[in-house]
Amino acid sequence: GTVIGILGGGQLGRMLSVAASRLGFRTHIFEPGANPPAGDVAHRVTTASYEDAEALRAFAETVDVITYEFENIPTSALDLLETLRPIRPDRRALAVSQDRLVEKAFLTDLGLQTAPYAAVDDAEDLAEALAEVGTPAILKTRRFGYDGKGQAVLRTPEDATEGLAAMAGAPAILEGFVNFTKEISVIGARGLDGSVACFDPGENVHREGILRTTTVPAQISDAQRTDAVLIAAQILNKLDYVGVMGVELFVTPTALIVNEIAPRVHNSGHWTQGGCAIDQFEQHIRAIVGWPLGDGARQSDVEMENLIGADMERLPALTRQPRTQIHLYGKTEVKPGRKMGHVNRIL
Ligand code: ATP
Ligand code: MG
Ligand code: MG
């Protein structure tokens, strides 16, 4: 039978493995860290470094197609893997999403709106960027940031020195602060045959840079809903993308501004598990094995809430709540800021 290789063994890899298993596929996880959440449910796990060419080769040879649950896969590993098996979504999506500067240029070239931005490698660049972009602004590392890590808010130009220090010498990007009224995301999918389907946009609330809740339907106009989906479709088509993608957008009174894209299933798409016949995980598996995309029409209103760190203390109460779907990732150690699970309240 078909075996799906997944790079990364976190909760996204875990939920992809469950979806694959339901469709009769086996998964093989490649993950450098010990005891990955996906390891409990995958058919097979390789624990090895991305530097280990032999392990990568052996992994690839056991699978039919390779996908991933995070975007920071080292280039050398991709160079090797792509000679052995199809990687879906392919390199183009990773090249764009691994580097915030490349991502912004890609989006701008598509004619989409982003926050004003400028590249920052040193203090001189930052002074110029601040003159161009103004304050307040956010300085972000170009690579490896997630959950708001590697970011510094510059309220005034006087915050420059401290902000630059927070980048620890890494190449960065300065973004003008977008005065958004809300944040939404579109979880889009594109099949091997080029067909595109998007889930209904969700409305996201972040706390300390980490997603707290996603609520569907988002409280936006019909025109905004259509525009958001068209933006996602444009991105998917331009990248000749295969699989599920998350597109994060800022809503302002006059525009939809693209924040960032994630070439994978996305935390803000977890509501689909409770709100759709086909959730984002099954949709991704369908796309990468060449099945037709499934029916992702929204069947109910849903609120997804992440269980982060000490939120786990509320678990006994949550288990008693009606219409509440509980998803736990099998992580034993609770840490502040660590995503332990989520709940979908079917409204
Ligand atoms: P993720 O975990 O979604 O990958 P990340 O670390 O890549 O997050 P961003 O999505 O860039 O970080 O930023 C996290 C949050 O910070 C955003 O969802 C938004 O709330 C806020 N933010 C980021 N950039 C801006 C901006 N230019 N203007 C206003 N708010 C911003
Ligand atoms: Mg991000
Ligand atoms: Mg984000």
* Residue-range domains of the chain with CATH: 3-87 (3.40.50.20), 116-176 (3.30.1490.20), 182-346 (3.30.470.20)
Give the confidence band of 12 by pLDDT, cuts at 50, 70, 90.
very high
The ligand 1 atom nearest the CA atom of 149: 6
Confidence of residue 34 (pLDDT cuts 50, 70, 90): very high
**With a 6 A CB cut-off, is 146 part of the ligand 1 pocket?**
yes
Is 331 annotated as a binding-site member? Answer: no
For residue 148 and ligand 1, the question of a CB distance below 6 A is answered with: yes
> Average pLDDT for residues 87-116, to the nearest whole number?
97
| CB of 337 shorter than 6 A to ligand 1 | no
Q: How much is the average pLDDT of 227-243?
A: 98
- Nearest residue (by CA) to ligand 1, atom 9, is 148
pLDDT tens digits along 281-325 = 999 999 999 999 999 999 999 999 999 999 999 999 999 999 999
Q: How far apart are CA 253 and CA 154, in angstroms?
A: 24
Q: Which residues of 200-233 are buried (b: 16+ CB within 10 A; e: fewer)?
A: bbbbbeeeeebbebbbbebebeeebbebbbebbb
In contact, 303 and 271? CB cutoff 8 Å: yes
Residue with CA closest to ligand 1 atom 17: 209
Cβ 220 under 6 angstroms from ligand 1: no
Give the distance between the most distant pair of CA atoms in the chain.
60
Question: Binding site annotation covers 117?
Answer: no
pLDDT at 263: 98
Instruction: Give the Cα separation of 38 and 25 in Å (integer).
Output: 15
Residue with tokens 């989906």: 229
pLDDT-derived band at 58, boundaries 50, 70, 90: very high
The number of the ligand 1 atom at minimal distance from the alpha carbon of 140 is: 11
The alpha carbon of 151 and the centre of ligand 3 are apart by a number of angstroms equal to 11
Asked whether 138 lines ligand 1 (CB < 6 A), one says: yes
Q: What is the pLDDT of residues 119-142, one digit of tens each?
A: 999 999 999 999 999 999 999 999
Rounded Cα distance between 38 and 119, Å, is 36
- Average pLDDT of span 270-284: 98
